[in-house]
């Protein structure tokens, strides 16, 4: 994991400032390379070839240069050597340089792993930018004084002169649906390179193409499916254990993180968060899993006070908005992992997208109501924000009906959209921003698959992987690895019939079967319990005066202060169950206030 910067044009001497903004992503060194009209920068977190894997990497003739963030797996290096290429380092990042020499921009289709890269081809005067299939590693771009810039985070673009301002259209979308489409950010003029995208810049022309989508066709279920899933998961975990730095596991006690740990040799270090609130804490399950799998478990305490203290840094590093205290909890988790000496963490993220594991997808499968799935489960309820249906005719027309997770956002919209400044409440329909996403989902025959892919494009890429994952992990120089998002495993999971993944009211049936010989029944049969934190917004708690004072003193500019003040008064007067339903809106406001202050955002560019 590293930090990347590229300026196509005149950097005006600002490259060093951009790298300073990404210092947390690369505490082990930095490097730069300049050519006519191009500058590349890199901050390094040394995981492989610690002595020789410095970047930028440059071809023998000096015409091609590249910076890479992430990890590649498999035998691509051996294939390149068999083709006559001489690898000068043991770093997998060098594979990108040589793969481009062989296959051009189509090299992205050969990569297996988690990466973002920026490559300059001086022979063709062409910049090539690529991002992994799921968006595990971030990459954004903007026009800046003197040219076009790309970076791992928006902070670096602001250091290069991009205006630091809210994007009003994005905010309207967030106020209604929480998640942004994969090409957008919260910042005006700052664009995200979508997952599975290769983007090329030649002269004034910027073009992009999507190089991967999951398979649309489902195979008939067969007796060997579970065994194949287990084999692919084992291979994915083993590949991600390779590092010249200590590796740890994130362990919640759920099926996904436990299943990943089960594929590793005994004696691993695992970390789990403890919440002092009934209905949220999963420590007992994590301890059972660690004991069974021979892992050494370390517990990270997440008291309300610790979460509150961590929240500002968690928001600033992640450059995102949150709807609960899950964000600072993940920040504390990554902090503890780095303090232990580990530089890599393996998690179970992506399993629910691969095997249709979310409660809202189970509801979609059963054509039931979201509230019935979440009943009695505060974790699921907090994730889904259960409410009545929302009118989304564009979604219904495209997908056949409205996915449960989209309908559930009606609660957020009801409490948040009306708090925006009057002039921000009028604008293009936010759903007009996602026509491409809706079209991409039409490839799949089953409705749960359509809903799952829309979720993956909205929630997985921009929130789960970027905000909760990379944002909190790289704040501490920790590289996140996600074996369930190995594309070989993901593709096999998506060829399973959707009906086969739901059995006896449980989700991920094939994955549960695949783990039968390594996990006992109590661990395999646990229902999905989303990793969410208890609400911080308790009017009777010690944090309430400080929380309300912050929102009133530093109300984020896009929101009307008088409306926010009325919302807070109404919130405090409500009984606890109704406050819980409004807490996501409160946390989004709070994180917006922090993000505006820490990044120096204005309401308009």
pLDDT score for 434: 79
Residue scoring higher pLDDT (279 or 385): 279
Q: Do 98 and 120 fall into the same domain?
A: yes
Beta strand pairing status for 197-202 and 2-9? unpaired
Note down the domain range covering 139.
Answer: 2-210
Q: Are residues 313 and 446 in the same domain?
A: yes
Residue 349 has pLDDT above 80, yes or no: yes
d(CA 73, CA 130): 16
Q: What is the pLDDT of residue 605?
A: 64
Q: What is the pLDDT of residues 184-237, one digit of tens each?
A: 999 999 999 999 999 999 988 999 999 999 999 888 888 899 999 999 999 999
CATH code: domain of residue 468: 3.40.50.620
Greatest mean pLDDT among 139-153, 423-437, 571-585: 139-153
pLDDT band for position 366 (cuts 50, 70, 90): confident
Q: Give burial (CB, 10 Å; 0-12/13-18/19+) of 352.
A: buried
For the residues of 69-87, what is the DSSP string, one character each?
EEEE-SSHHHHHHHTT---
604 is a domain residue: no
Q: What is the arithmetic mean of pLDDT over 291-298?
A: 98
Nearest to 423 by CA among 165, 172, 170: 172
Which of 210, 242, 262 is the C-terminal boundary of a domain? Answer: 210
Structural domain includes residue 539: no
pLDDT for res 237 = 99
Could you tell me the end-to-end alpha-carbon distance of the chain, in angstroms, rounded to an integer?
31
Residue 288 lies in a domain: yes
Q: How would residue 328 be classed by pLDDT, with cut points 50, 70 and 90? A: very high
Same domain, 224 and 361: yes
| pLDDT band at 30; cut points 50, 70, 90 | very high
- pLDDT of 503 strictly over 90: no
Tell me how far CA of residue 423 lies from CA of 410, 556, 559, 593, in angstroms: 21, 15, 10, 19
What is the rounded CA–CA span in Å between residue 462 and residue 179?
7
d(CA 220, CA 303): 48
Task: State pLDDT tens for residues 542-578.
Answer: 899 999 999 999 999 999 999 999 999 999 999 999 9
Partners of 560 in the beta sheet? none
Is 389 within the bounds of a domain?
A: yes
Q: What is the mean pLDDT of residues 527-537?
A: 76
Q: What is the pLDDT of residue 414?
A: 83
Assign 428 a pLDDT band (cuts: 50, 70, 90): low
| Predicted confidence (pLDDT) at residue 367 exceeds the cutoff of 80 | no
What is the SS3 assignment for 350? coil
Question: Could you tell me the strand order of the sheet in which 2-9 lies?
Answer: 30-35, 38-44, 2-9, 147-151, 140-144, 191-192
Q: What is the pLDDT of residues 73-122, one digit of tens each?
A: 999 999 999 999 999 999 999 999 999 999 999 999 999 999 999 999 99
For 25-45, letters b (16+ CB in 10 Å) and e give bbbbebbbbeeeebbbbbbbb
464 and 343 in a common domain: yes
| Nearest CA among 54, 556, 512, 587 for reference residue 259 | 512
353 and 260 in a common domain: yes
Alpha carbon 167 to its chain's center: 20
Q: Retrieve residue 447's tokens.
A: 């409705």
Q: What percent of the chain has pLDDT above 90?
A: 75
Indicate whether 217 and 206 sit together in one domain. Answer: no
What is residue 386's predicted lDDT score, i.e. its pLDDT? 34
Asked if 329 and 190 sit in the same domain, the reply is no
Confidence of residue 425 (pLDDT cuts 50, 70, 90): confident
Res. 369: pLDDT tops 90: no
Find residue 67's DSSP bridge partners.
Answer: 118
pLDDT confidence tier of residue 429, bands split at 50, 70 and 90: low
Domain-terminating residue out of 531, 562, 579:
531
Do 436 and 508 fall within a single domain? yes
Residue 454 sits in the same domain as residue 561 = no
536 part of a folded domain? no
Q: Do 379 and 248 fall within a single domain?
A: yes
- In a domain, residue 277? The reply is yes
Last residue of a domain, one of 531, 556, 588: 531
Q: How many domains does the chain have?
A: 3
Q: Tell me: the pLDDT tens digits for 147-198?
A: 999 999 999 999 999 999 999 999 998 988 889 999 999 999 999 999 999 9
Whether the predicted pLDDT of 259 surpasses 50: yes
Average pLDDT over the chain, rounded to an integer: 91
Given a cut of 50, is residue 400 above it in pLDDT?
Answer: yes
| pTM of the complete model | 0.93
The answer, yes or no, to whether residue 474 has pLDDT greater than 90, is yes
| pLDDT category of residue 385 using cuts at 50, 70 and 90 | very low
pLDDT at 541: 86
The reply to whether 463 and 549 lie within a common domain is: no
Residues 255, 527: Cα–Cα separation, whole Å: 8
Where is 374: in which H helix or E strand? helix 370-374
Residues 182 and 279 in one domain: no
289 versus 397: which is more confidently predicted? 289
The string of DSSP letters for 329-373 reads HHHHHHHHHHHTT--EEE--TTHHHHHT-SHHHHHHHHT--HHHH
What does the block give as tokens for 19?
């790298």
């Amino acid at each position: 994991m590293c930090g990347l910067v590229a300026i196509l044009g005149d950097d005006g001497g600002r490259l060093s400032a951009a790298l300073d903004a990404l210092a947390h992503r690369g505490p082990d060194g930095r490097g730069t390379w300049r050519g006519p009209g191009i500058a590349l920068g890199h901050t390094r977190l040394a995981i492989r070839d610690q002595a020789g894997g410095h970047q930028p990497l440059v071809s023998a003739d000096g015409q091609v240069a590249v910076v890479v963030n992430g990890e590649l797996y498999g035998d691509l290096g051996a294939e390149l050597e068999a083709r006559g290429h001489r690898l000068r380092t043991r770093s997998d990042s060098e594979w990108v340089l040589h793969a481009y020499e062989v296959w051009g921009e189509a090299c992205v289709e050969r990569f297996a792993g988690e990466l973002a890269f920026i490559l300059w081809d001086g022979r063709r005067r062409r910049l090539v930018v690529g991002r992994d299939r799921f968006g595990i590693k971030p990459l954004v771009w903007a026009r800046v004084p003197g040219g076009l810039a790309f970076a791992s985070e928006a902070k670096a673009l602001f250091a290069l002169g991009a205006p630091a301002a809210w994007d009003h259209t994005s905010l309207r979308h967030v106020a209604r649906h929480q998640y942004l489409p994969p090409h957008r950010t919260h910042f005006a003029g700052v664009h995200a390179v979508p997952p599975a995208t290769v983007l090329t810049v030649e002269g004034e022309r910027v073009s992009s193409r999507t190089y991967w989508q999951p398979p649309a066709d489902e195979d008939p279920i067969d007796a060997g499916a579970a065994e194949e899933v287990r084999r692919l998961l084992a291979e994915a975990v083993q590949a991600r254990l390779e590092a010249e730095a200590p590796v740890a596991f994130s362990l919640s006690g759920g099926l996904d993180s436990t299943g990943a740990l089960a594929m590793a040799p005994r004696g691993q270090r695992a970390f789990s968060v403890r919440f002092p609130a009934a209905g949220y804490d999963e420590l007992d399950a994590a301890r059972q899993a660690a004991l069974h799998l021979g892992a050494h478990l370390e517990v990270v305490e997440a008291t309300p006070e610790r979460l509150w203290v961590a929240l500002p840094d968690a928001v600033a590093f992640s450059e995102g908005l949150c709807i609960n205290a899950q964000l600072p909890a993940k920040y504390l988790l990554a902090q503890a992992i780095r303090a232990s000496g580990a530089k890599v963490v393996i998690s179970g993220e992506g399993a629910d997208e691969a095997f249709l594991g979310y409660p809202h997808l189970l509801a979609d499968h059963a054509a039931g109501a979201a509230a019935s799935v979440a009943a009695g489960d505060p974790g699921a309820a907090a994730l889904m924000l259960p409410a009545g249906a929302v009118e989304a005719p564009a979604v219904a027309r495209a997908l056949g009906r409205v996915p449960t997770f989209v309908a559930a956002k009606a609660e957020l919209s009801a409490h948040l959209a009306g708090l925006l400044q009057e002039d921000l409440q009028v604008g293009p329909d936010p759903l007009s921003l996602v026509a491409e996403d809706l079209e991409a989902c039409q490839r799949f025959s089953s409705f749960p698959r359509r809903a799952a892919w829309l979720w993956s494009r909205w929630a997985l890429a921009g929130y789960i992987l970027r905000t909760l994952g990379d944002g909190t992990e790289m704040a501490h120089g920790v590289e996140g690895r996600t074996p369930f998002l190995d594309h070989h495993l993901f593709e096999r999971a998506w060829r399973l019939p959707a009906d086969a993944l739901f059995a006896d009211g449980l989700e991920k049936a094939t994955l549960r079967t695949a783990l039968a010989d390594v996990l006992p029944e109590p661990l395999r049969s646990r229902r999905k319990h989303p990793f969410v934190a208890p609400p911080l917004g308790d009017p009777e708690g010690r944090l309430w005066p400080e929380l309300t004072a912050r929102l009133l003193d530093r109300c984020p500019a896009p929101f009307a202060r008088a409306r926010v003040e009325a919302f807070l008064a109404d919130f405090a007067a409500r009984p606890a169950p109704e406050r819980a339903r409004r807490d996501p809106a409160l946390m989004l406001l709070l994180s917006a206030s922090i993000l505006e202050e820490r990044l120096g955002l204005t309401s308009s560019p």
